[in-house]
Amino acid sequence: MPAAAGIEGAEQRSVQWVCDQGDWAQIDSFVERVVEHFGRVDILVNNAGGTLPVPHVEDVPELLAKVQGVPAGDSSFERTARFHAAAIQNNLTSPLWFSLRTYRAMAAQTGTGSIINISSGASHPAGSPTLVSYGAAKSGLNHLTRSLAEEWGPKVRVNCLALGATMTENFQTFVLPADDPAGADYFRNVPLGRAGSADEVGAACVFLCSGQADYINGTTIEIDGGMLPGTLYEAGIRTIEELLAGP
């Protein structure tokens, strides 16, 4: 497992398995496999998700649907409907399914479990143009976090991290413009002047799962460098528009 490289004894204590989170039956089998292999499950991080910004919410271009893995369909409306349905599935429904199934395992064992949902600054009440269905799903994920925390405490703590710009390969490819690859102009509306890193997000997850966070439950923590709501959408869509325009 690449993430475990360099950690002593990790070969015996870690595995890498694949599951289609859009299939509740696969989620059921996946969690069962984890419990059978390790004897219990203590932590779930709902990190899978994402989408692409679209210039016009009512008509998703065929190229963006293809990149997102959405069937083209027989009409532009079908393609658009499928694109937004996939955003809701990947960013709200699937995390709910994973949480439900994992809680059933956690509730049957000793100790307190921890579930972390990965949300986004697009969930802010200020709105998220170009990311309408994604933002709505992430907003729902924030609410889901609080509701599950109230239902499942004290057996399981449920918290959420709402990320701002985070420097990943996809972010560099689909968000940062070709003439600003380091994001110098893009990050002008982030008070810290840069993107976050995957390591910084990971450190926040480790904290929330640790004994130092035993009384933190049902909260959404923003990890966005103080990003001003709504300021990055115009800059973020430019790369997509250039992609659609072609060479």
Active site residues: 134
Question: Is the CB of residue 166 less than 8 Å from the CB of residue 158?
Answer: no
Residue 166: phi, psi to the nearest 5? Answer: -125, 125
Strand segments, DSSP code E, in 151-239 are 156-163, 220-223
| Cβ-based neighbour number of residue 200 at 10 Å | 15
Map residue 61 onto helix, strand or coil.
coil
Q: Give every strand in the sheet of 220-223, ordered side by side.
A: 43-46, 113-120, 156-163, 220-223
Q: Which of 208, 16, 23 is nearest to 97 (CA)?
A: 23
Residue 114: phi, psi to the nearest 5? Answer: -135, 125
Which helix (H) or strand (E) covers residue 77, if one does?
Answer: helix 76-88
